[in-house]
Structure 1
């Protein structure tokens, strides 16, 4: 395992000029006329793309954004060997100055990135002096944005989880809490499954699971077969089914021919912009307004990777997800907490989750508002849930693991 190296984002002028030239010469193809309310039915509307591209041409300043990222995020890299691969893992690492701070590993997904952790960084120094403080570590998935890419097509979720665990060990955080949504939820679950002695708890804001075992849980499988759900559960499950039927085409393409689709996306800033912007629209609350600077910044970060791994994870990840994560239940020794936001697209009821996700669910909260990008859309709600989950860990969890995590936080290498 390599040493921790400070990282500053600095895009070459040559690459920036190439991106700017592609944007300046972009052609926005016309859309067809849609009925009111159906403007997004066929993808990102040309009217939305025109506004974004005009903003990119006339107002967006990458160097100013780059400077802000470098000022707001303490970033590092570490070379980590996992199997035959050596990954130069990019990560955000903010240490708390508070005594008794707890290591917290935050994992993102697609089309998100490490910038999603920004609102959670206040957890290093909460306003309430009695509140739990955290040392926050937020890696970039290998092959995504600023982390290097695996060279072979078998770098599954379990390997990503193992890489993250080695990062935490390399930082001196022998015990820690894991948190994640989207792909980050599966990475966090895999960490809990592979390293239950080190992971003192896992908090998720996205959850799916296989049906309960008919032998172990006959009443639960009966409830599932007859659709014995509450009205709210039916509503959330219907949204997930709608997503899989009407909005998951991107995952089918990325999950079958990731290299082919990536030629187009990585060679066309406007193509990547439209690809990402579409998912942001359907995954968030209708009244949430996406700042064009944020959308363009996320787009450029994916262009910087020069890699098909943003798509390839849907092939290697999904193909191995059943045997690595979904078919296994997190043991009692790793407590689990879950925050459900109504417009997310991964959901199962608590009674189902107990049978197929984790034996020891100690926190479960269903919110009235919020979507897939909780740390961006409704960060205060997510922060409150993380704090409540950790309070329960402190009160009900094993004292030995809790003390080990606090000791790791105090003695971490940084």
Structure 2
């Protein structure tokens, strides 16, 4: 077992001083002040956030809270062809000995902090629901995980890091939950490590495959079946996001260094081990990997659908292309469900692995109950 080293956030005073100096120098043009979201983030909001960050925000207060609430560690992971990376993660064990090992995987602009609100639910022990030992990986280049030292660190490498971390913690068999990039990474894990190690996966960012003529009956059904009200709303939101909400994606997948200078209002990214631009490289490196996701995983999948997710496609598309054993549809919530509606998302995960549920006892010897 790779030894894990306890970790505490302790940003040097020098970095806080530099940040404050940069905020003091911040200036904003007055043009388009009333444009609101039509041209991007409204100027008034950016001014307000910058002013609060400069004069009212107390980093040391929140640094102390994070250190007290989240048990953090680091360990070295040897990535094939890329050498050893020092990886930061949260590892919170349940009091239930037979709790299910669960890897929680975030995306951008998320971080390990996304788990803060949902963690007490997932690790709690009760007769009516299963409990989990939760591991929250900081993806390489994010937060306090070391960034890759050379190009080509693609989705297989992110999946390898996550898998090897679970093995290092002696969780040879486990389940996963992912959102945003974490959904694609855990999907790849399900394809590569599914069956022997990864037993089931859950996501709040499901990406169904559109109907294809290769499945003629399904394709014909798609052509002849009218959209439901929910499906129409989902398609409209997906179209909006793809045409008007992906400016950041195109910037970061082609010129990832540029946005490093625009993320300074997010303290954790600013104080990241390798700087705010390191996390953006995931868009550049994974762009070609995500154009064709390949064959769908065959292990059991759970999907939670939230109306304000960025891409909302018909459920039937997912069920035809994946081994979906659990699905849930919500009236509220969006892309950051673990933070927005943590109890609802936790209940979905419980229902998937509860006694009598579709994935109960899927990890041998780990029922989630005392």
1:237·1:348 contact (CA, 8 Å) conserved in 2? yes
Q: CA deviation at 1:233?
A: 0.7
Distance 1:188 1:339, change over 3 A: same
Q: CA deviation at 1:406?
A: 5.2
Give the deviation of 1:348 after TM superposition: 2.4
Distance change in 2, residues 1:161/1:345 (3 Å) = same
Alpha-carbon distance between aligned partners in 2 of 1:398 and 1:47, rounded to the nearest angstrom: 50
Gaps of 5+ in 1: 275-295
* Partner Cα distance (1:380, 1:363) in 2: 17
Q: CA distance change for structure 1 residues 176 and 12 in 2, over 3 Å: closer, same or farther?
A: same
> Which residue number in structure 2 is paired with residue 370 of structure 1?
333
8 Å contact from structure 1 (residues 213, 355) kept in 2:
no
Q: Are 2:263 and 1:272 aligned?
A: yes
Q: Choose the corresponding residue for 2:112, options 111, 114, 136.
A: 114
Q: How far did residue 307 of structure 1 move?
A: 5.6
Q: Could you say if the C-alpha distance between residues 27 and 208 of structure 1 is closer, same or farther in structure 2, counting changes exceeding 3 Å?
A: same
What is the 5 A alignment of 1:173-252?
A: 173-196=171-194, 197-215=196-214, 217-224=215-222, 228-252=226-250
Distance in 1, matches of 2:127 and 2:142, equals 36
- 1:7 match: 7
Give 1:28 shift: 2.5
- 2:343 corresponds in structure 1 to 380
Match of 2:24 in 1: 24
Instruction: Give matches, 1:314-353, under 5 Å.
Output: 314-323=283-292, 326-331=293-298, 334-353=299-318
- The yes-or-no answer on 1:402 pairing with 2:363 is yes
Cα–Cα, structure 1 residues 330 and 177, in superposed 2: closer, same or farther, change >3 Å? same
Q: How many residues align?
A: 368
Cα distance in 2 for partners of 1:402, 1:13 equals 45
Aligned residue number for residue 44 of structure 1:
41
Distance 1:256 1:92, change over 3 A: same
| Cα drift, residue 195 of structure 1 | 0.7
| Higher share of residues assigned helix | 1
> Alpha carbons of 1:128 and 1:31: their partners in 2 closer, same or farther (altered >3 Å)?
farther
Does the 8 Å CA contact 1:236/1:347 hold for their aligned counterparts?
Answer: yes
Contact preservation (8 Å) 2:74, 2:87: yes
Structure 1 match to 2:133: 135
Q: How big is the shift at 1:234?
A: 1.6
Instruction: Measure the CA separation in 2 of the matches of 1:343 and 1:307.
Output: 27
- Which of 63, 70, 76 in structure 2 is aligned with 1:66? 63
Alignment of 1:292-311 (within 5 A): 296-302=266-272, 304-306=273-275, 308-311=277-280
| In structure 1, C-alpha distance between the alignment counterparts of 2:365 and 2:228, rounded to whole Å | 41
Separation in structure 2 between the aligned mates of residue 345 and residue 228 of structure 1, nearest angstrom: 22
State the shift of 1:31 in Å: 4.3
Deviation at 1:355, TM superposition (A): 2.9
Structure 1 256/299 Cα, relative in aligned 2: closer, same or farther at 3 Å? Answer: same
What's the TM-score, normalizing by structure 2? 0.92
Cα distance in 1 between the residues matched to 2:227 and 2:156: 32
Instruction: Go from structure 1 to structure 2 and tell me whether the alpha carbon gap of 1:383 and 1:31 turns closer, same or farther (over 3 Å shift).
Output: farther
Q: CA deviation at 1:253?
A: 1.1
Question: Over residues 146-200 of structure 1, what are the superposed CA-to-partner deviations in whole Å (9 max), with x where a residue is unaligned?
Answer: 1111112211112101110000000010111100110010111111111112112
User: In 1, Cα distance between the equivalents of 2:135 and 2:161?
Assistant: 13
- 3-state SS of paired residue (2:165): helix
Q: 1:211 touches 1:221 (CA, 8 Å); kept in 2?
A: no
Following superposition, the deviation at residue 53 of structure 1 comes to: 1.5
- The verdict on how the C-alpha distance between 1:396 and 1:63 changes in structure 2, with shifts beyond 3 A counting, is closer
In the TM superposition, 1:81-120 aligns within 5 A as 81-85=78-82, 86-120=84-118
Q: CA 1:79/1:143 → structure 2, altered by over 3 Å: closer, same or farther?
A: same
Report how far residue 39 of structure 1 moved. Answer: 1.4
1:313 is aligned to 2:282: yes
Q: Return closer, same or farther for 1:84/1:406 CA change in 2, 3 Å cut-off.
A: farther
